[in-house]
Chains A and B, each alone.
Chain A
């Protein structure tokens, strides 16, 4: 199964709709609750990052019997120092983003913790693509 979602820069009213939709789908498919939680926490953090730190983009989700692969691709500005970004507590979140409850610098570490495979490709000035895989077994 393949799903695509558009995400819009700075749109915190609708932020989380893609993750919410994936959660409903996984529930419907009868995926184990612990795996649903891992999946949606990772996707939600990546979705928020694309809305809060980037210029929006697209989410592509592929689900089969064994796994879910989620690709969150944004259109910039890219992450200059990925090692730093992966550190717990590191955040460049704006005051507006902090007001929404984000900016603890725990998003990327949390994505890492909750996924079985994580790949982040980022080019400054071009964008960031976060590919996350969760195995159901």
Chain B
């Protein structure tokens, strides 16, 4: 699934790095715990999180994540947006809860990481 399709499904807004239309997302992982994110391989995976700060971006960088859905209507600050651009990470801001975002993407065929 493309990043833009994910954004459409969760009624989200794309911020940070522009969406790479060639990137195919197959799996999702939902967590607010950054050390948990660092425990797994995040290939072709979108992170769904309510944690909205610089550390979300730094963790994504180390985990090789390229797409992050920020749920619960959290607003990234200027610093975080700049970091996302520098690190080439696309963020999708959504007003929905983590549960709702996860449910929508699951129903649309995105697989759980495990």
**Contact between B38 and A110, CB atoms less than 8 A apart:** yes
CB distance A101 to B62 under 8 Å? Answer: no
- With beta carbons under 8 angstroms apart, the residue of A37, A44, A100, A102 that contacts B64 is A37
Scoring B38, B54, B56, B87 by chain A CB atoms within 10 A of each residue's CB, the highest score goes to B38
| A41 interfacial by beta-carbon distance below 8 Å | yes
Contact between B62 and A102 (Cβ–Cβ < 8 Å)?
no
B35 within 8 A of A: yes
State in angstroms the CA–CA spacing of A35 and B57 once bound together: 20
Contacts of A41 in B (CB 8 A): 38, 62-63
Name which of A14-22, A54-62, A121-129 contacts chain B: A14-22
| A104 and B36 contacting across the interface, CB-CB below 8 Å | yes
Proximity bits, B47-65, A CB within 8 Å = 1, else 0: 0000101111011011110
How near does chain B come to A110, taking the closest CB pair, in angstroms? 6
Q: Does A106 contact B (CB under 8 A)?
A: yes
Task: Please give the distance in Å from A120's CB to the nearest CB on chain B.
Answer: 17
B39 touches A20 (CB 8 A): no
Q: Which residues of B lie under 8 Å from residue A106 when comparing CB positions? A: 33, 35-36, 38-39
B residues contacting A by CB (< 8 A) are 32-36, 38-39, 41, 51, 53-56, 58-59, 61-64, 79, 87
A residues within 8 Å of B by Cβ? 12-13, 15-16, 19-20, 23, 33, 37, 40-41, 44-45, 100-107, 110, 113
